[in-house]
Amino acid sequence: AQSVTQLDSHVSVSEGTPVLLRCNYSSSYSPSLFWYVQHPNKGLQLLLKYTSAATLVKGINGFEAEFKKSETSFHLTKPSAHMSDAAEYFCVVSDLNAGNNRKLIWGLGTSLAVNP
């Protein structure tokens, strides 16, 4: 079975400092991994995804994530936080169950606060 663990439920950074949101996964297959962002009372937006190509994945708004198979990690980073980055971030792994039907397995989320 596949699962996702987001290691921090809350992260607080100062504007202009680096962001690190940690995610570990377990998977019996070659996983596809995603990071989604959810702003308050808004829908979900895809930040980036890993699908077995380059291990360093660049996404929107300056975010990137590195797939490390040996560590089963897919941490999200950004060099310099902006106030508008304050949101809930979800690490997600795809589940290729029998029949190649795909559903997403979601972490519990990390709430990012950005202080002026």
**Residue number with CB closer to other proteins (28 or 116):** 28
**Residue number with CB closer to other proteins (15 or 64):** 64
**Residue number with CB closer to other proteins (60 or 80):** 60
Q: C-beta of 54: minimal distance to other proteins in Å?
A: 13
C-alpha distances in angstroms, 63 versus 27, 36, 97, 98, 102?
A: 24, 11, 30, 33, 25
Q: C-beta of 43: minimal distance to other proteins in Å?
A: 4
First to last CA, the chain: 41
85 within 8 A of 47, measured Cβ to Cβ: no
The residues binding other proteins (CB under 8 A) are 29-30, 32, 34, 36, 41-46, 49, 51-52, 90, 94, 96-97, 99-109
Helix%, strand%, coil% for the chain, nearest 5 = 10, 55, 35
Q: C-beta of 116: minimal distance to other proteins in Å?
A: 25
Structure tokens at 74: 């897919």
